[in-house]
Amino acid sequence: MEETCGCHIATGDLLRKEIKDKTELGLKATDFMNRGDLVPDDLIIEILNKKLESNECKKGSIFDGFPRTVEQAKKLDDLLSKKGQTIEKVINFEVNDEILIDRIAGRRIHESSGRSYHIHYNPPKKAGFDDITGEPLIQRKDDQLDTVKNRLENYHKLTKPVLNYYQGSGNLYNLNAQRPIDEVWKDIASQVLF
Ligand code: AMP
């Protein structure tokens, strides 16, 4: 995806890197993330701004897990318009809550690379270990059931309104993401990206 679209900016990954590097921003974000709450908008915009300035992101970017509030969506428009850029497409991955809980609670991560697996739907070759390095996989604290439920509540309250924000723009693409990964990917590649 990076080859075609510039850089992949996942705000969750950026935050986890700040936490790992023990930066001030990471420290401020930790409790929000562990509870499954959204990190305040000003911290997210700060981290995003830093990433957008990097050379790899000059061609364009895919934002993943961002914007998660209407305020972030507005700030993103401001930031892009200052660079003479606009949003080409917004992809909404539609999955009902029950399936989402099952997917997130079964997710396992290889911490240093970010490679992600699912215990049933995308299992590693050897249960509990990364395919490439053979290192152990972990479950993120915020992927545990209670935290996932809080994250979903926050999604309905704070993130869903972002869809209305983009609805009128004509570039919102609603994608049925309840299908197997390869079908979803084909849909993205054929109908959305190219
Ligand atoms: P993710 O890896 O996308 O599931 O994000 C993990 C956690 O990071 C979320 O539950 C939030 O606490 C925080 N986070 C990630 N992206 C954002 C964002 N755009 N706005 C606010 N909080 C975020």
**What is the rounded average pLDDT of the residues 40-58?**
90
Cβ-contact 25, 18 below 8 angstroms: yes
CA 172 / ligand 1 centre spacing (Å): 21
What backbone phi and psi angles, to 5 degrees, belong to 187?
-60, -45
**What is the rounded average pLDDT of the residues 64-72?**
97
d(CA 44, CA 13): 12
SS3 79: helix
Closest-lying ligand 1 atom to the alpha carbon of residue 16: 8
**What is the rounded average pLDDT of the residues 168-188?**
90
pLDDT, residue 138, reads 96
**What is the rounded average pLDDT of the residues 117-135?**
96
CA 184 / ligand 1 centre spacing (Å): 22
**Maximum distance among all Cα pairs of the chain, rounded to whole angstroms:** 48
Q: What is the residue type of 99? A: I
- Whether residue 2 is predicted with pLDDT greater than 50 in this model: the reply is no
Which residue in 16, 51, 48, 49 sits closest to 32, CA to CA?
16
**Nearest residue by C-alpha to atom 14 in ligand 1:** 12
CA 130 / ligand 1 centre spacing (Å): 24
CA 66 / ligand 1 centre spacing (Å): 8
CA 149 / ligand 1 centre spacing (Å): 14
Band of the pLDDT at 4, cuts 50, 70, 90? low
Which long-range CB contacts under 8 A does 111-114 form with residues at least 24 apart? Answer: 111/138, 114/13
d(CA 113, CA 138): 12
- Ligand 1 close to Cβ of residue 107 (< 6 A): no
User: What percent of the chain has pLDDT above 90?
Assistant: 74
- Whether residue 3 is predicted with pLDDT greater than 60 in this model: the reply is no
- The two beta strands, 107-109 and 116-118, are antiparallel
Which residue in 103, 107, 105, 101 sits closest to 137, CA to CA?
107
Interval 131-168: pLDDT, tens: 999 999 999 988 999 999 999 999 999 999 999 999 98
What backbone phi and psi angles, to 5 degrees, belong to 153?
-60, -45
- Ligand 1 close to Cβ of residue 130 (< 6 A): no
d(CA 95, CA 177): 6
Q: What is the residue type of 151? A: R
- Whether residue 1 is predicted with pLDDT greater than 60 in this model: the reply is no
Element containing residue 4 per DSSP (H, E): helix 2-5
User: Quick one: residue 22, left, alpha or beta (phi over 0 = left, psi -120 to 50 = alpha)?
Assistant: left
pLDDT, residue 5, reads 57
pLDDT, residue 194, reads 65
